[in-house]
């Protein structure tokens, strides 16, 4: 078994220096930031080394990267970490390539690697991090898989063996188990626990022997008039400096009494606030010609909350474009779910369902979605930024040569220079440090995946009219048997919660979790009515304080509780990414300069082992404790 590791050199965004900004142009001077190999791509290499031990014979591990010449050092480093071969695709004509253009170039590079390094042997696995820490689109791996016609197994964080090796990916409330049976395939890795280190000797050897090959457009055998501008399907129109999704108040508090009253006030204020009711009315559709489409998902006989949010936003966009709204869903003719889509505002629902005994696969579903798009000619197609939604969106966009923007937090319809209505897609990048406005270029179809917790939901209107059509799909593709293990269902961190108590590496021991944190959570139950879950940072997971599916952050869960109480968490960008949509954020930390305070509404500089038992006592003793 051979491996190709996709590795990207990224700017180190842990702490962005104010000097890195060109305030006049509103762009980040990337050259001013130190760079490193995308951390998850190093995890990908660790995974490849582990999985290679399951297959007999010698494997070749090749690293592939695309970027300017200076990235060569990262490839020497990967050689020193155990890659046998390394290729840097570097060509000035490819600067600024979007995900479509990058996937196109990488797919040609991979075909050359198979020929040159693997003697044409197709028993190989492409492995990459699930996303890069700068772009964070998670689009290149599935688009590349689409270009090569191979399946994707995404977000893998563990391996188990059951006759064949099986890959484990943890989702919201279940674990996806995928046996490794089809090759070639592409695997993306999330929080994989093993680590690899470079050896100094190997690093010297790699530099001396110049083991990294440099390839350009000509070496790849592509037409020499190719440029990233010609290939790309999206263009960044404007970049602005970090904007907090919810600006935080950053108020310092100093006593436990004050802390108690803030928890109570924040809880009651948000609970009692009345959300306006919005309904998509039954209107006469002026045109069914260029519909707005949305890819819908359901779990446990109900639409997911993210699906309800994007259907509602797609409805608003359809009204602005005066067009109809079509939902595409893969459900086994579940009338209840299909009617939920009509009631929410869809004018048409296209239910794709597989023939009996047909294996579900990402290739199969995206092929069906692409065919629907070719037939219906939508102007806008929205997908949930869920693990499956991202993959189907990426594959579909690649096969339709359409523009796709990942993880949007705002969508705006504006008139362009030719007075045509276009959709401006806004998304955070560089770990949330910048926000970018992106438009689609070189493609009529504008596609976007949409982040959870951003758009409000329409209220369903029962009895709304709409058309339901069923489309059977046949399996002409290599499928992968995926099992879902719901045993984690009883024990998962829901996205919406009243209160979440979240702990970090500042907690000294598991004993403190039992003796201090759990009683605190219990005392909050007396007042809120439900026992708050105890979540944590990645370091808290690594220390065994909380389970993996209770990790909050970029590679964990995004949460939107009424109150988020962080205890002994420093507030790294990757952690903060998961609490952007939380209501009130309250933090306890001993360090005045902890970044978490910048992202809190209220904070207290204190040792948790002193303050948390005090506040627990206050809630326990409160005579009016049981409010709910
Ligand atoms: P630390 O950074 O060690 O902070 C501990 C804090 O506790 C300090 O601020 C300290 O002042 C405070 N403290 C110490 N003693 C006390 C006391 N007695 N009382 C009160 N406070 C005290 N991290 C995540 O959380 N989620 C993710 O999803 C995630 N994804 C990642 C993805 C990638 C690709 C990478 C590279 C990293 C990711 N990380 C993630 C890790 C992240 O960068 C940080 O390392 C991590 O969040 C730090 O966890 P922490 O705040 O618990 O620990």
CA–centroid distance, 486 to ligand 1, in Å, is 29
**Residues 239-248: tens digit of each pLDDT:** 876 655 568 9
- Mean pLDDT lowest for which of 202-206, 239-243, 562-566, 586-590? 239-243
Q: For ligand 1, what atom is nearest to the CA of residue 540? A: 52
Q: What does pTM read for this prediction?
A: 0.83
Residue of 135, 537, 546, 565 with the most ligand 1 atoms within 8 Å of its CB, for mutation = 537
pLDDT value of position 628: 38
CA–centroid distance, 576 to ligand 1, in Å, is 10
pLDDT value of position 574: 81
Answer yes or no: is pLDDT of 218 > 50: yes
CA–centroid distance, 410 to ligand 1, in Å, is 29
Helix (H, G, I), strand (E, B) or coil at 579: helix
Sheet of strand 251-252: strand arrangement: 251-252, 602-605, 584-589, 563-567, 499-503, 534-536
C-alpha distances out from residue 143 to 59, 137, 355, 363, 463, Å: 25, 11, 26, 11, 39
Confidence class of residue 353 from pLDDT cuts 50, 70 and 90?
confident
In this structure, which residue's CA is closest to atom 38 in ligand 1? Answer: 574
CA–centroid distance, 536 to ligand 1, in Å, is 9
Residue of 589, 593, 600, 611 with the most ligand 1 atoms within 8 Å of its CB, for mutation = 589
In the chain, the percentage of residues whose pLDDT exceeds 70 is 90
CA–centroid distance, 596 to ligand 1, in Å, is 10
Confidence class of residue 301 from pLDDT cuts 50, 70 and 90?
confident
**Average pLDDT of span 349-372:** 84
The closest of 626, 525, 526 to 534, measured between CA atoms, is 525
Answer yes or no: is pLDDT of 13 > 80: no
Residue of 14, 568, 594, 597 with the most ligand 1 atoms within 8 Å of its CB, for mutation = 568
pLDDT value of position 23: 60
CA distance 269 to 43: 43
Question: And the tokens for 556?
Answer: 């964990």
CA–centroid distance, 23 to ligand 1, in Å, is 30
Q: For ligand 1, what atom is nearest to the CA of residue 38? A: 34
In this structure, which residue's CA is closest to atom 48 in ligand 1? Answer: 539
Q: For ligand 1, what atom is nearest to the CA of residue 133? A: 34
Residue ranges around ligand 1 (CB below 6 Å): 39-40, 133, 504-506, 537-540, 551-556, 568-570, 572, 574-575, 588-591, 594, 607-609
Confidence class of residue 360 from pLDDT cuts 50, 70 and 90?
low
Most confident of 259-273, 423-437, 501-515: 501-515
In this structure, which residue's CA is closest to atom 9 in ligand 1? Answer: 570
Residues 6+ apart with CB under 8 A from 206: 76, 79, 80, 86, 212
Helix (H), strand (E) at residue 435: strand 434-440
DSSP single-letter state for residue 520: H
CA–centroid distance, 283 to ligand 1, in Å, is 50
In the chain, the percentage of residues whose pLDDT exceeds 90 is 61
Cβ atoms of 440 and 233 closer than 8 Å: yes
pLDDT value of position 250: 95
In this structure, which residue's CA is closest to atom 16 in ligand 1? Answer: 506
Is residue 184 reached through a cis peptide bond, with omega within 30 degrees of 0 on the bond before it? yes
In this structure, which residue's CA is closest to atom 37 in ligand 1? Answer: 574
CA–centroid distance, 546 to ligand 1, in Å, is 13
CA–centroid distance, 538 to ligand 1, in Å, is 7
In this structure, which residue's CA is closest to atom 39 in ligand 1? Answer: 574
Residue of 191, 539, 559 with the most ligand 1 atoms within 8 Å of its CB, for mutation = 539
CA distance 233 to 230: 8
pLDDT value of position 627: 42
**Residues 100-145: tens digit of each pLDDT:** 999 999 999 999 999 999 999 999 999 999 988 887 789 999 999 9
The closest of 342, 226, 347 to 288, measured between CA atoms, is 347
> How many of the other CB atoms lie within 10 Å of CB of 282?
14
pLDDT value of position 488: 54
CA–centroid distance, 586 to ligand 1, in Å, is 16
In this structure, which residue's CA is closest to atom 3 in ligand 1? Answer: 505
Residue of 509, 572, 604 with the most ligand 1 atoms within 8 Å of its CB, for mutation = 572
- Find where tokens 């500042």 sit: 506
CA–centroid distance, 597 to ligand 1, in Å, is 13
- Mean pLDDT lowest for which of 82-86, 180-184, 281-285? 281-285
pLDDT value of position 600: 96
Cβ atoms of 570 and 588 closer than 8 Å: no
**Residues 386-443: tens digit of each pLDDT:** 888 999 999 999 999 999 999 998 999 999 988 999 999 998 877 667 788 999 999 9
CA–centroid distance, 40 to ligand 1, in Å, is 17
């Amino acid at each position: 078994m051979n491996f190709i590791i996709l590795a990207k050199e990224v700017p180190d965004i842990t702490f962005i220096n104010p000097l890195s900004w060109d305030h006049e142009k509103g762009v980040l001077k990337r050259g001013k930031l130190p760079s490193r190999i995308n951390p998850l791509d190093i995890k990908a290499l660790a995974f490849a080394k582990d999985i290679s031990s399951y297959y007999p014979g010698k494997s070749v591990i090749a690293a592939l990267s695309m970027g300017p010449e200076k990235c060569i050092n990262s490839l020497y480093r990967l050689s020193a970490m155990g890659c046998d071969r390394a290729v840097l695709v570097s060509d000035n004509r490819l600067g600024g390539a979007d995900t479509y253009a990058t996937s196109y170039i990488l797919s040609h590079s991979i075909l050359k690697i198979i020929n040159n390094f693997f003697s044409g042997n197709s028993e190989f696995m492409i492995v990459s991090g699930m996303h890069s820490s700068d772009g964070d689109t998670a689009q290149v791996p599935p688009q590349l898989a689409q270009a090569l016609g191979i399946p994707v197994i995404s977000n893998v964080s563990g391996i188990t063996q059951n006759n064949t090796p099986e890959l484990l990916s943890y989702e919201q409330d279940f674990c996806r188990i995928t046996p490794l049976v089809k090759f070639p395939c592409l695997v993306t890795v999330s929080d994989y626990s093993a680590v690899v280190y470079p050896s100094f000797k190997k690093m010297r050897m790699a530099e001396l022997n110049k083991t990294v090959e440099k390839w350009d457009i000509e070496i790849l055998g592509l037409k020499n008039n190719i440029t990233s501008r010609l290939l790309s399907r999206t263009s960044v129109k404007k970049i602005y400096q970090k904007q907090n999704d919810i600006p935080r108040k950053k108020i310092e508090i100093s006593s436990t009494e004050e802390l108690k009253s803030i928890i109570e006030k924040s809880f009651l204020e948000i609970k009692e606030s009345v959300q306006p009711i919005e309904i998509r009315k039954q209107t006469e559709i002026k045109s069914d010609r260029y519909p707005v489409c949305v890819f819908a998902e359901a779990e446990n006989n109900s639409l997911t909350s993210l699906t309800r949010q994007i259907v509602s936003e797609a409805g608003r966009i359809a009204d602005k474009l005066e067009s109809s709204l079509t939902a595409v869903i893969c459900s086994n003719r579940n009338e209840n779910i299909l009617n939920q889509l009509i009631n929410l505002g869809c004018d048409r629902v296209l239910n794709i369902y597989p023939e009996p005994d047909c294996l579900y696969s990402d290739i199969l579903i995206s092929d069906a979605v692409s065919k629907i798009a070719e037939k219906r000619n939508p102007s806008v197609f929205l997908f949930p930024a869920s693990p499956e939604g991202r993959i189907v969106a990426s594959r579909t966009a690649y096969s339709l040569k359409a523009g796709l923007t990942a993880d949007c937090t705002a969508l705006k319809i504006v008139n362009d220079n030719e007075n045509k209505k276009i959709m401006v897609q806004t998304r955070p990048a560089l770990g949330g440090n910048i926000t970018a406005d992106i438009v689609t270029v070189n493609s009529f179809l504008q596609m976007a995946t949409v982040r959870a917790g951003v758009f409000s939901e329409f209220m369903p209107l029962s009895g709304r009219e709409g058309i339901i059509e069923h489309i059977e799909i046949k399996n002409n593709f290599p499928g992968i048997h995926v099992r879902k293990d719901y045993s984690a269902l009883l024990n998962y961190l829901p996205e919406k919660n009243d209160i979440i108590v979240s702990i970090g590496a500042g907690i000294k021991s598991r004993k403190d979790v039992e003796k201090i944190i759990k009683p605190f959570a219990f005392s909050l139950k007396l007042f809120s009515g439900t026992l708050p879950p105890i979540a944590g940072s990645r370091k808290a997971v690594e220390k065994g304080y909380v389970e993996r599916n209770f990790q909050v952050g970029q590679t964990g869960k995004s949460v939107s509780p009424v109150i988020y109480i962080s205890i002994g968490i420093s507030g790294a960008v990757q952690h903060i990414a998961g609490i952007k949509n939380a209501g009130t954020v309250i933090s306890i930390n001993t360090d005045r300069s902890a970044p978490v305070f910048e992202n809190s509404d209220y904070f207290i500089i204190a040792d948790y082992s002193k303050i948390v038992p005090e506040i627990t006592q206050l809630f326990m003793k409160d005579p009016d404790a049981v409010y709910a």
